[in-house]
């Protein structure tokens, strides 16, 4: 009897060791299934269906993807999106790399206040930031009024707002914080003595940046690309509020398909293609990061 009771206790303890981790995993797994896997399944199903507010057709189809490949509108918008997003990303890197260097190696006692300032600025509502740029760049905005007051221009500069220029400026300034932080974290992990030793060996600042600093911050660079470059493709608020017809982006196409024209099939196909492209970009960045670490 005692032996039987001992076996029961041991079996219960063994089951507990298996069930406890499963119990902890149950909630996040259920959350992921409910709010990621299920919506993704609906998106995939809709992308391969005739699903439109103004069409009675139904059933499986590849027409949604065929439309994305053959319609000149989507080709033009894709090119414009790549140009705008890439330009904004390059501008952010040009700003973020020296700023991260200053924060990591030169700020001294101001390092923490400057980091907190970056975080506080990012807390401002994105719509408020976009409308602030409209006040700066508009025909009657601060920049045009200042230039006219200084006598530099006779009439307002129309290209400051509702053009690709304004979209690139707003996107670059809105996401630059997310570019700075990964680069700053990578630079903080670098031993400053490496730069001092390179200086002692006669290396100029260009050589130290190109051959010492940049290779070591490559992982942070790829993280910045994943955090910033990918969301730039899906942004629709900025082109809608400060852009014009020439700055219509894929995010606007997706929003209009889903909420304006009611063409849910094409909208779902576009979302699926963009999601796949983002996944490939993330995988490529991860692979390049691992490759750099091996080197």
Q: What is the mean pLDDT of residues 13-38?
A: 71
pLDDT at 291: 61
**Any idea what the CATH number is for the domain that residue 213 is in?**
1.10.3720.10
Q: Encode pLDDT of 232-263 as tens digits.
A: 998 999 999 998 888 899 999 999 998 888 88
Question: Does any domain span residue 25?
Answer: no
Inter-residue contact 165 to 159 (CB < 8 Å):
yes
How many whole angstroms separate alpha carbon 277 and alpha carbon 88?
A: 19
What is residue 200's predicted lDDT score, i.e. its pLDDT? 67
Is 260 a member of any domain?
Answer: yes
Handedness of CA 284, 271, 61, 63 (dihedral sign): negative
Q: Determine, yes or no, domain membership for 37.
A: no
Asked, for residue 269, whether it belongs to a domain, the answer is yes
Q: How far is CA 149 from CA 57, 138, 146, 152, 174, in A?
A: 61, 15, 5, 8, 28
Q: Is residue 147 part of a domain?
A: yes
The answer to whether the predicted template modeling score (pTM) of the entire model surpasses 0.75 is: yes
Cβ-count burial 170-209 (b if 16+ within 10 Å, e if not): bbbbbbbbbbbbbbbebbeeeeeeebeebeeeebeeeebb
pLDDT per position as a tens digit, 51-98: 887 777 778 889 999 999 999 999 999 999 999 999 999 999 999 999
- The residue-averaged pLDDT of 169-187 equals 92
Q: Could you give the CA distance from residue 236 to residue 140 in angstroms, rounded to a whole number?
A: 25
Mean pLDDT within 121-128: 82
CA-CA distance, 62 to 71, in Å (whole number)? 14
Token representation of residue 268: 């779902």
CB 190, CB 217: distance < 8 Å: yes
Range 22-33 burial, b when 16+ CB lie within 10 A, else e: eeeeeeeeeeee
Residues with Cβ < 8 Å from 113, sequence gap 6 or more? Answer: none
Q: Is residue 237 part of a domain?
A: yes
pLDDT at 103 over 70: yes
The number of distinct structural domains making up the chain is 1
Q: What percent of the chain has pLDDT over 70?
A: 87
Would you state the pLDDT for residue 292?
56
- Spatial distance between the Cα atoms of 90 and 15, rounded to a whole number of angstroms: 55
Residue 25 has pLDDT above 80, yes or no: no
Q: Which residue has the higher pLDDT, 245 or 182?
A: 182
Distance of alpha carbon 92 from alpha carbon 86, whole angstroms: 10
Residue 232, pLDDT score: 92
Q: At what angle do helices 126-137 and 142-149 cross, to 10 degrees?
A: 20
pLDDT of residue 216: 83
Which range marks the domain in which residue 127 is found?
72-294
Q: Is residue 189 part of a domain?
A: yes
What percentage of the chain reaches a pLDDT higher than 90?
41
pLDDT of residue 26: 72
CA-to-CA dists, residue 176 to 100, 144, 168, angstroms? 11, 25, 12
Flag whether 41 is in a domain: no
Give the range among 118-127, 135-144, 225-234 with minimum mean pLDDT: 118-127
């Amino acid at each position: 009897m005692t032996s039987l009771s001992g076996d029961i206790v041991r079996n219960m303890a063994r089951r507990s060791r298996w069930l406890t981790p499963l119990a902890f995993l149950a909630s996040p797994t259920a959350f992921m299934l409910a709010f990621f896997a299920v919506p993704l399944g609906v998106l995939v199903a809709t992308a391969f269906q005739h699903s439109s507010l103004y069409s009675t057709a139904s059933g499986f189809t590849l027409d949604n993807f065929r439309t994305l490949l053959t319609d000149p509108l989507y080709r033009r918008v894709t090119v414009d999106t790549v140009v705008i997003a890439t330009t904004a990303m390059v501008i952010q890197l040009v700003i973020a790399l020296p700023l991260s260097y200053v924060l990591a190696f030169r700020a001294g006692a101001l390092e923490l206040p400057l980091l907190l300032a970056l975080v506080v600025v990012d807390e401002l509502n994105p719509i408020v930031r976009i409308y602030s740029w409209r006040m700066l760049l508009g025909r009657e905005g601060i920049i045009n009024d200042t230039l006219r007051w200084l006598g530099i221009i006779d009439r307002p500069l129309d290209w400051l707002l509702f053009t690709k220029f304004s979209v690139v400026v707003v996107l670059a300034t809105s996401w630059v914080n997310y570019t700075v932080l990964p680069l700053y974290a990578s630079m903080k992990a670098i031993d400053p003595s490496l730069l001092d030793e390179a200086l002692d060996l006669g290396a100029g600042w260009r050589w130290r940046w190109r051959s010492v600093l940049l290779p070591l911050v490559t992982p942070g660079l790829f993280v910045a690309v994943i955090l910033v470059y990918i969301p730039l493709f899906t942004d629709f608020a900025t082109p809608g509020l400060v852009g014009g017809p020439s700055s219509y982006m894929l995010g606007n196409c997706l929003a209009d398909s889903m909420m304006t024209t009611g063409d849910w099939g094409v909208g779902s196909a576009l979302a699926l293609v963009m999601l796949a492209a983002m996944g490939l970009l993330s995988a490529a960045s991860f692979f390049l990061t691992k490759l750099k670490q091996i080197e």
